């Protein structure tokens, strides 16, 4: 069992377009925590139900000829939709556009005027507004 | 990278602009690698603050003294601050709207009595609005859960999958 990024990193060099290669390499640097199993085509053909179950439980399967990735075009990935969304979200977070927009959250404070309000009550009345127990069972 | 959901109370405290722990938490965020787009608020926050502040304005308006008038003035400033703050989150699409998954989690929370301790250690049962915020934090967005930022404490550990951060613990009064 390896990690998704670790599995594909050695093969990035085979991407012909340099700009795409750099983007993919950068994206892979941010993708961690996705356990990955490389299986042969033969094993995949026989064990698809098991692989599907594994994918739904969070382990990606990479189907490669003879169980070894010799070129990217020889590998296919079986992945659950949830894992795919997780990967996309992590890549999105790390993109240049996203990081370029990173601003201090406190910048907005300069637009707020200081107030002079006493300390009581400290907490706002969310807790007083209504019930705490018994939503759905009381519905009719 | 963690993502954070400010509670209505935290938003309220920041809107007071009195250098309270919530405001210091926001000021200290960038130093911890937390940026604007890592922080969100729930869709119910502004409505809840408006409701609370308007109630306090009505109470203060009943007082005929100068103190009452001054308090009304200050409360209007607070409300204006809250609107500016909330608008900032709206513009950056950092308001968490209620979807089906959040509603489902909220439904479970509504059936559970949950007691928090406020910043002074006083227990209180949380109501449905705060439960909705907590459901927003637990479900998160794009499969990324939020850390819920509030001075209260889930003393009994009733919500096992809720991660909280307490500004008052990190930036207690008297510190910067």
- Total domains in the fold of chain A: 1
Give me the pLDDT at residue A98, please. 60
Question: Domain for residue A94, yes or no?
Answer: yes
Q: What is the per-residue pLDDT across A4-54, written as a single tens digit (0 to 9) for each?
A: 888 888 888 888 888 788 888 878 877 877 889 999 999 999 988 999 998
Domain membership of residue A129 (yes or no) is no
Let me know if residue B125 belongs to a domain. yes
Whichever domain contains A23, its CATH number is 3.40.1620.10
- The answer as to whether B132 is a domain residue is yes
B143 touches chain A (CB under 8 A): yes
> What is the pTM for the complete model shown?
0.67
Helix (H) or strand (E) holding A41: helix A41-46
Q: What share of chain B is helix, strand, coil (3-state, %, to 5)?
A: 55, 15, 30
> How much is the pLDDT for A138?
45
Domain assignment present for residue B17? The answer is yes
Radius of gyration (Cα) for chain B, nearest Å?
16
Is there a contact between B127 and A128 if contact means CB atoms under 8 Å apart? yes
pLDDT per residue as tens digits for the range B43-91: 999 999 999 899 999 988 888 777 788 889 999 999 999 999 999 999 9
Structural domain of A56:
2-100
Whether residue B10 lies within 8 A of chain A, CB to CB, comes out as no
CATH number, domain containing residue B70: 3.40.50.1010
Residues pairing with A61 in the sheet: A37, A78
The answer as to whether A23 is a domain residue is yes
- For residue A36, which of A69, A85, A13 has the smallest C-alpha distance? A69
**How far is B138 from chain A, CA to nearest CA, in Å?**
16
Q: How many separate domains does chain B show? A: 1
Mean pLDDT is highest, among A8-22, A64-78, A80-94, B83-97, for B83-97
| N residues, chain A | 140
Q: What domain range includes position B93?
A: 3-170
- Asked if residues B93 and A101 have their Cβ atoms less than 8 Å apart, the reply is no
In this structure, is residue B175 part of a structural domain? no
| B130 neighbors B118 (Cβ within 8 angstroms) | no
On whether residue A136 sits in a domain, the answer given is: no
Residues in chain B: 176
């Amino acid at each position: 069992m390896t990690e998704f990024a670790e599995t594909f990193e050695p093969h990035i060099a085979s991407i012909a377009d340099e700009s795409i290669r750099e983007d993919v390499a950068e994206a892979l640097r941010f993708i961690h925590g996705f356990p990955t199993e490389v299986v042969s085509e033969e094993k995949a053909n026989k064990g698809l139900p098991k692989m599907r179950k594994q994918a739904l439980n969070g382990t990606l399967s990479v189907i490669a000829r003879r169980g070894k990735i010799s070129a990217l075009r020889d590998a296919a990935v079986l992945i659950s939709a949830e894992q795919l969304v997780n990967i996309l979200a992590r890549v999105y977070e790390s993109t240049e556009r996203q990081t370029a927009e990173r601003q201090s959250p406190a910048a907005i404070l300069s637009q707020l005027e200081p107030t002079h309000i006493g300390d009581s009550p400290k907490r706002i009345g969310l807790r007083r507004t209504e019930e705490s127990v018994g939503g759905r069972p009381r519905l009719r | 990278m963690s993502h954070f959901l400010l509670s209505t109370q935290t938003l309220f405290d920041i809107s007071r602009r009195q250098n309270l722990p919530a405001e210091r938490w926001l000021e200290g965020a960038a130093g911890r690698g937390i940026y604007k787009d890592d922080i969100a608020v729930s869709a119910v926050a502004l409505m809840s603050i408006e409701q609370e502040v308007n109630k306090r304005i009505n109470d203060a308006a009943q007082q005929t003294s100068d103190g009452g008038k001054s308090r009304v003035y200050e409360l209007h400033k607070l409300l204006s601050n809250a609107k500016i703050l909330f608008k900032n989150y709206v513009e950056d699409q950092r308001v968490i709207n209620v979807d089906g998954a959040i509603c489902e989690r909220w439904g479970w929370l509504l059936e559970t009595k949950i007691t928090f301790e406020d910043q002074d250690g006083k227990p209180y049962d949380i109501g449905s609005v705060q439960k909705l915020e907590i459901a927003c934090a637990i479900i998160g967005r794009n499969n990324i859960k939020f850390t819920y930022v509030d001075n209260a404490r889930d003393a009994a550990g009733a919500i096992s999958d809720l991660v909280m951060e307490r500004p008052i613990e990190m930036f207690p009064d008297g510190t910067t």
